[in-house]
Structure 1
Amino acid sequence: MAEKHGDGRLVDPLGAAPSGIEDPSHTPPAAAAEERAKLRRGLGRVDVVLFLICTLVGLDTVGSVASYGGQAITWLLVLAVLFYIPSALLTAELGAAFPAEGGPYVWTRMAFGHYAGAVNNFLYWVSNPVWLGGPLAVTAVATVEGFYRNGEPLTGAGFYTFTFAFIWVGVASAVLSLRLGKWVPSLGALVRMVLLAFFTFSVVLYGIEHGVQGIAAGDLAPSWSVFLALGPVLLFNYVGFDVASSAAEEMHDPQRDVPFGILRSGAVAIASYALPVLGILVVLPTSSVSGLSGFLDAIRAAFTVYGGHIAQDGTVTLTGAGRVLADIAAGGFIIALLTSAVPWLMGSDRALAVSGYDGAAPRWLGVLSPRFGTPVRVNLLSGAISSAVCVLAHELSGSAAKYFGAVLALTLSLTLLSYIGILPSALVLRRKYPNVPRPFRVPGGMPVLVACTVATVALLLLGAITLLYPGFATDWLAGANPDDALPEGWSGQRLAYTVTQVVPLVMFFLIGTGFYLSGRRTRRR
């Protein structure tokens, strides 16, 4: 039963958005009340901050960013101003004004309708199991091989035992009720902060003992070609403020805690990206930084201050305390990788379940567990897709680097495309429902709101295009060849690479359309 708010609005006792805030032209299906009754509050203010830090600070792409040298620092800061801060402001307004379970889906549906909500939400959701079974699992395998197996590859049963355990531990964490499951991203946030703090401290010691590579002023000068190549990765790192809002009706006070969590975690996340990138560039020459293992290589080099040495050819040998501490750091890195996926699974799986009981996906997906209050069916589906991606990529690709590049690009493009639907919702809903109370508003009024929307959407669109067609617009530069921008291992294979990106995207759009059509019966009810 709903009860009266102080201003006369009806408020759901579970913490849902006031009923007057939901689209007046949309009557929620009967299934919505049935499923929402299973939700339980479990997130407080500190939980939201740690949840968002774990969501925003992903270490799997740090090596890819650092491989671009000093310009990585420049573009990291530029995009923080042009994209990160605007997207944080837009999401804070949406999360405070419309605190409904499945937030990103609900905002998009309210702004653009059920069909747009269905397709956009499918892209938003499916990118996460692809990410877990692809780049995250591959990076975790590379960590095990490099630190615990002396470079010997994991093959056969060993590979699948480790990767399936990695995937399904993440899925199991998402299945747990939020009161228990929230401790996984909280642990992940703490592990990140400790790991990055100790790495930074070690880099300082390394610089005192051995000197540093140094970054010349000219290395920081921005260039168009590097922006086109690096921009999509940075944009991917800079999205995720909305993930906690997918569990808005499980928060104690979402209208206050969401803006608070976004503004606090955002500052921590920027520092958490800048410090490891700077540390890598201080320890390693840019030419030796690998997108797959750059951060791990920097850890090895920096930890020689505790025991070990670096040969003239760059080979690192760790001994004594250096080896022990590096192995501990590698374990922390694997935990950070795993816990990167958990909050995204928790959020995107909830959003898909909400679309299921709201008539934008099959009804059987929109079922919450009476025991856990979580979308167990969607959780298991995410795990199955992650496992399939892991198996197919491992069996069909003969090169880890080539696989990493293709799957990472697909994950990035799916994610960026979904946010083209999510972030503009703030502007549309401000115009559509101007009288809805907004505990947090983008400061500066409508002009700033429009500027934030235009800047974020333009950057997302450019990033998605450059992922689908690496080298886009590089021929604007004298002597530039677009094919030189193809990921590692795809040289001379423009058509094959494009197929790996476009065909899955078209397939996902069609599946999203199918989800919308399958929800007709639910919508009619």
Structure 2
Amino acid sequence: MAISDAPPTTAGRDAAVEKSKLQQHFGRADVFFFLVCTLVGIDGLGTLATEGGQGFTWLVVCTLLFAVPSAMLLAELGAAHTDEGGPYVWVRMAFGHLAGAVNNFFYWVTNPVWMGGTLVGTALGGLIVFLHGGEEYSRPVTYAFALVFIWAGVLFAVLSFRVGKWVATVGAVARFLLLGLFSVLVLLYGVENGFHGPSVGDYAPTFAGFVALVPLVLFSLVGFELPSSAGEEMTDAARDVPAGIAKSVVATGLLYAVPVLGILLVLPSDQASGLAGFPEAVRQSLTVLGGEVTTAADGTVTATLTPFSTAVGWVLGALVALVAFTSGLTWIMGSDRTLAVSCYDGAGPRWLGRFSARFGTPTRVNLLSGVISTAVFVAVTEITDGDIAKFFGVALSLAISTTLISYLGIFPAAWRLRRKLPDHPLPYRAPALGLLTVVSTAWIAFCTVQLLFPGLGIDWFGDDYRADGWAASERWVYLLTELVPLALFVAVAVGFWAAGRRQVDRADRPGGR
């Protein structure tokens, strides 16, 4: 059931016009590298390690009980329904245009929020640790870096998948290099200095750790559907999507588990901050190439590097920034397509649903993403008065909440479409679909509540649950920083849907166009 077959008639005609501009450049290997670049980020590695050994335990549990079930759901959807803008199309086909419009707006807006917030902070964190002696950059330098970071991403997103897929491939290779080198350094560091990680008992999972960590873990393990946003730019989506997802599940699990374990073994948990935990662990492990580690009276560990190990650190710092940059780029490339598709499908303003005839990309949405990213960066920087750690916590929580909310529509779509379209071919058929749907959706629903009200049911906004840099007395300020944007996003999404309906209705009336 192609999107162009669905009413209203004007949307079908508009879809045909825009689809004629698409270019096929997306093969099986490209899908795998794109997924690795999409799924494997480093912005949450330090935060996972702050909970000690149970951070690693919950990562393993979520990989097995969330990533694997949800990946099977998305493999069925991606192989069976291969229209451009896959995640939007699935929800719209399953639950209607309004549900598709609102859900898809959350799916899209996450990424400019994430790009202008968390990812800028992650890249800055790596550069601060390796290139600036641990001292934060001045406000003007921070702004200049953020603008280049954001708008370079927009530029690459505007270019065709023929170019963009190679950027994603470079990003995937950067992940293998960065995390592979870190794993080797950690092993050498442990052999030379001994491993001083958590005790065996610290790996035991607790409910408090579950509440604090699982939303971040789930955020790190979603995205298997993103290549399907370019379903009609693939050479063989029905074959390549399930294969790419299967390989990426294994790669993602390993690329997350090994670095988190490395941080735990090298860096004391009270220093593994969400912003700089991973870069600090890399810096400490670099002393095996030259340098020393000293411990102050208060327990603070400081790594001093030689010129050679410092030079290697510069390379790794650049890789940290590149990984953060390409994480945002792949998500922007995919989610911008879903928003453009929804707009030419009558669930948003038609002017946003334009693809470039030259590049085959949704340039207007790409530019809008850049504007939103820039606005988010400016707003959060000013709200937190330039406090990078506090900035990081707010932006990460908002990005996680908007992301997870969108999967409340995407995951149930597989179950709904299998019943709504019983005769539709299923190149890949997920086993026990009902159970997979319940399990995947339940994880998301619980974590969404905990993101808005950290620690609710145990100790709302208590010491063990609130983000870095926030005081217990600021719980209502924190809540407003989450609820106000979410309410605004819902209002804008409904407004998009209403604008799209009006345009379609007007055009379908006699003499309307």
For the superposition of Structure 1 and Structure 2, which TM-score range results when normalised by the shorter chain?
A: over 0.9
1:451 pairs with 2:435: yes
Q: CA deviation at 1:328?
A: 0.5
User: Structure 1: which 4+ aligned runs deviate by more than 6 Å?
Assistant: none
Aligned residue type for 1:204: L
Aligned residue type for 2:374: S
Q: Label 1:316 to 1:502 Cα distance change in 2 as closer, same or farther (>3 A).
A: same
1:270 pairs with 2:253: yes
Residue 344 (structure 1) aligned to one of 331, 335, 343: 331
Q: Secondary structure at the match of 1:271?
A: helix
What is the correspondence of 1:105-504 to structure 2 with a 5 Å cutoff?
105-313=88-296, 314-398=301-385, 399-443=387-431, 448-475=432-459, 482=462, 485-491=465-471, 492-504=473-485
**Partner of 2:490 in structure 1?**
509
Aligned residue type for 1:147: F
Q: Secondary structure at the match of 2:230?
A: helix
Q: CA deviation at 1:31?
A: 0.8
Contact 2:4 2:15 in 1 (8 A): no
How far apart in 1 are the matches of 2:415 and 2:285?
46
How far apart in 1 are the matches of 2:434 and 2:449?
22
Aligned residue type for 1:410: L
How far apart in 1 are the matches of 2:412 and 2:443?
13
What is the correspondence of 1:51-66 to structure 2 with a 5 Å cutoff?
51-66=34-49
Q: Secondary structure at the match of 1:311?
A: strand
How far apart in 2 are the matches of 1:204 and 1:440?
40
How far apart in 2 are the matches of 1:162 and 1:24?
44
Aligned residue type for 1:65: L
Q: CA deviation at 1:312?
A: 2.2
What is the correspondence of 1:37-48 to structure 2 with a 5 Å cutoff?
37-48=20-31
Fraction of identical pairs, as percent: 49
Q: Label 1:184 to 1:212 Cα distance change in 2 as closer, same or farther (>3 A).
A: same
How far apart in 2 are the matches of 1:202 and 1:143?
17
Q: Secondary structure at the match of 1:49?
A: helix
How far apart in 1 are the matches of 2:109 and 2:499?
17
Q: CA deviation at 1:193?
A: 0.4
Aligned residue type for 2:466: L
For this pair of structures, how many residues does the alignment match? 499
Aligned residue type for 2:458: T
Q: Label 1:24 to 1:175 Cα distance change in 2 as closer, same or farther (>3 A).
A: closer
How far apart in 2 are the matches of 1:386 and 1:293?
22
Q: Secondary structure at the match of 1:519?
A: helix
Q: Secondary structure at the match of 1:489?
A: coil
How far apart in 2 are the matches of 1:148 and 1:217?
35
How far apart in 1 are the matches of 2:115 and 2:479?
22
Contact 2:291 2:303 in 1 (8 A): yes
Bigger shift: 484-493 or 28-37? 484-493
Contact 2:347 2:497 in 1 (8 A): yes
Q: Label 1:367 to 1:457 Cα distance change in 2 as closer, same or farther (>3 A).
A: same
How far apart in 2 are the matches of 1:164 and 1:406?
19
Q: Secondary structure at the match of 2:304?
A: strand
Q: CA deviation at 1:522?
A: 4.4
Q: CA deviation at 1:217?
A: 1.9
Q: CA deviation at 1:481?
A: 7.4
Aligned residue type for 1:225: A
Q: CA deviation at 1:385?
A: 0.7
Structure 1 gap segments, 5+ residues each: 1-17
How far apart in 1 are the matches of 2:453 and 2:179?
34
Bigger shift: 77-86 or 90-99? 77-86
Structure 2 gap segments, 5+ residues each: 509-513
How far apart in 1 are the matches of 2:183 and 2:157?
31
Contact 1:132 1:341 in 2 (8 A): yes
Q: CA deviation at 1:500?
A: 0.7
Contact 1:120 1:421 in 2 (8 A): yes
Q: Secondary structure at the match of 2:320?
A: helix
Q: Secondary structure at the match of 1:59?
A: coil
Contact 1:29 1:359 in 2 (8 A): no
Bigger shift: 147-156 or 258-267? 147-156
Aligned residue type for 1:374: T
Aligned residue type for 1:407: A
Q: Secondary structure at the match of 1:472?
A: coil
Q: Normalised by the size of structure 1, how large is the TM-score?
A: 0.93
Deviations 1:79-131 (A, max 9, x none): 11221001100000000000010000000000000000000100110010000
Aligned residue type for 2:465: A
How far apart in 2 are the matches of 1:31 and 1:25?
11
How far apart in 2 are the matches of 1:245 and 1:405?
30
Q: Secondary structure at the match of 1:423?
A: helix
Q: CA deviation at 1:486?
A: 2.1
Q: Secondary structure at the match of 1:316?
A: strand
Aligned residue type for 1:487: A
Q: CA deviation at 1:24?
A: 5.7
Aligned residue type for 1:33: A
How far apart in 1 are the matches of 2:282 and 2:134?
16
Aligned residue type for 1:326: G
Q: Label 1:26 to 1:452 Cα distance change in 2 as closer, same or farther (>3 A).
A: farther
Contact 2:117 2:395 in 1 (8 A): yes
Contact 1:472 1:482 in 2 (8 A): no
Contact 2:129 2:280 in 1 (8 A): no
How far apart in 2 are the matches of 1:311 and 1:321?
19
How far apart in 1 are the matches of 2:57 and 2:188?
25
Deviations 1:322-359 (A, max 9, x none): 11111101101100000001110011000000001000
Q: CA deviation at 1:182?
A: 0.8
